Amino acid sequence: MARVEIKEISKIFADHNAVNNVSLTVEDGEFLVLLGPSGCGKSTLLRMIAGLELPTYGDIFIGERRATRLQPKDRNIAMVFQNYALYPHMTVYENIAFPLRVRGVDKQATDAKVQWAADLVGLTRMLKRKPRQMSGGERQRIALARSLVRDPDVFLLDEPLSNLDAKLRHSAREELRQFQDRVGVTSIYVTHDQVEAMGLGDRIVVMQAGTVRQVGTPEEIYLHPADTFVATFMGSPPMNLVETDGLTLGFRPESFLPAVGFASDIAVTPITFNVHRVEYLGGDRLLYGNVMGSLPNTAAIARIPSSVAYTPILGSEAKFAVANADLRRFDKDTGKAIEQHKPVENRRAAYV
Ligand code: ATP
């Protein structure tokens, strides 16, 4: 295990600046997620940590070692890609044992190591099978076990779940997180899927156009986005943004509720809302409409639990409100957050 330190790293391809002066520290044993839209530079950053790309500027330290110019094989890292590249003609055992065979490790030591890794990922009973007889999630575990036998200091994972279907992806995500908790190896995980990032990461790094927009725990990033890019990139539907005279006002759909439901001791900002469409999602309903009245007419979305007895009258103005603690303010010109609120501890309890 090791701490990873990235110091002022940039990567310039021809005239394109794919990664622009990024500095990050990944703590020993931490699960860090690099998140951002397609083309933001997250894979390039990961590939530089792996040693598959040379940085144009900057330095990378893995543990105490300066690794910037080390060959991938000398960094003691393990990479798991979307494409697991298992050997189809080999059994699960042989696939996992492969890196040890290449290193010339003797049979007894190999056996012990494979059993240990298979046990950690829950494949002990499947060692004699071939990959084609296994599910996508199980194949992913073979790839993990295969990287594990090398005792890596750092796991680098580039969208390893993206070729699984939605249900499998969910369980594979859970397994991956449990696995990392057990093994405790420093892990850096690339994804463009914010749900995956929120579910997996101890901390998330939100990237855009080669730069880091925000680094924080999932809660910090969701509740206190550093700027309007993060505010709208995280969350589905995204944070509502309304441009008022002096600044940009932000509130999440689930904080935007019919005014009648707020507990009387909660300070709220009333907002007039004209709903024109309702989308039923099961546990919640999404109300699409426009805020108006004292605010400039702007499209917005409210998310209301289906259990709340509220029936909107389509096309007419209704009184809604946002708890003041849930309002966010951003600089109109730079988009940067102006202040950091402490959120209402129990958001649902504020609404009765
Ligand atoms: P995705 O989620 O689509 O994989 P990403 O955030 O991982 O995107 P990168 O693969 O890191 O993005 O690419 C960042 C930018 O650098 C992109 O604009 C890409 O076109 C460019 N790029 C990546 N590799 C090269 C290369 N070898 N030569 C030139 N440009 C490259």
CATH number at residue 306: 2.40.50.140
Residue whose tokens read 């004292």: 294
Range of the domain at 288: 230-350
CATH number at residue 118: 3.40.50.300
Does 71 share its domain with 112?
Answer: yes
Q: Which amino acid is at 7?
A: K
Find the 171 Cα to ligand 1 centroid distance in Å.
29
Residue where one domain finishes, among candidates 162, 189, 221:
221
Quick check: 48 and 190 in contact, CB under 8 A? no
Burial label, 232 (beta-carbon count in 10 A; 0-12, 13-18, 19+): middle
> What is the position in ligand 1's atom list of the atom closest to the CA of 43?
7
Residue whose tokens read 């103005």: 317
Task: Report the relative pairing of strands 247-251 and 186-191 from DSSP bridges.
Answer: unpaired
Find the 151 Cα to ligand 1 centroid distance in Å.
29
Which amino acid residue places its CA nearest to atom 3 of ligand 1?
38
Q: Which residue, among 111, 112, 115, 171, has the nearest Cα to 140 in the 3D structure?
A: 171
Quick check: 118 and 138 in contact, CB under 8 A? no
Ligand 1 lined by 52 (C-beta under 6 Å): no
Q: What is the pLDDT of residue 347?
A: 60
Q: How far apart are CA 277 and CA 174, in angstroms?
A: 35
- The residue with greater pLDDT, 111 or 163, is 111
**Mean pLDDT, residues 220-247 taken together:** 94
Q: How far is CA 235 from CA 230, 239, 241, 280, in A?
A: 9, 7, 13, 18
Which amino acid residue places its CA nearest to atom 11 of ligand 1?
41
Ligand 1 lined by 208 (C-beta under 6 Å): no
Does 343 share its domain with 257?
Answer: yes
- The residue with greater pLDDT, 140 or 40, is 40
Quick check: 249 and 231 in contact, CB under 8 A? no
Ligand 1 lined by 44 (C-beta under 6 Å): yes
Does 108 share its domain with 243?
Answer: no
Q: How far is CA 246 from CA 103, 137, 273, 329, in A?
A: 64, 50, 21, 10
Q: Domain count of the chain?
A: 2
Q: How far is CA 118 from CA 95, 184, 200, 265, 301, in A?
A: 11, 16, 22, 55, 47
Residue where one domain finishes, among candidates 221, 250, 281:
221
Q: Which amino acid is at 45?
A: L
- pLDDT per position as a tens digit, 169-216: 787 788 788 888 888 889 999 999 999 999 999 999 999 999 999 999
Ligand 1 lined by 11 (C-beta under 6 Å): no
Cis peptide before 270 (omega within 30 of 0): no
- With the most atoms of ligand 1 within 8 angstroms of its CB, the residue from 11, 34, 44 to mutate is 44
Does 215 share its domain with 234?
Answer: no
Residue where one domain finishes, among candidates 199, 221, 243:
221
Find the 231 Cα to ligand 1 centroid distance in Å.
24
- pLDDT per position as a tens digit, 89-101: 999 999 999 999 9
Does 277 share its domain with 331?
Answer: yes
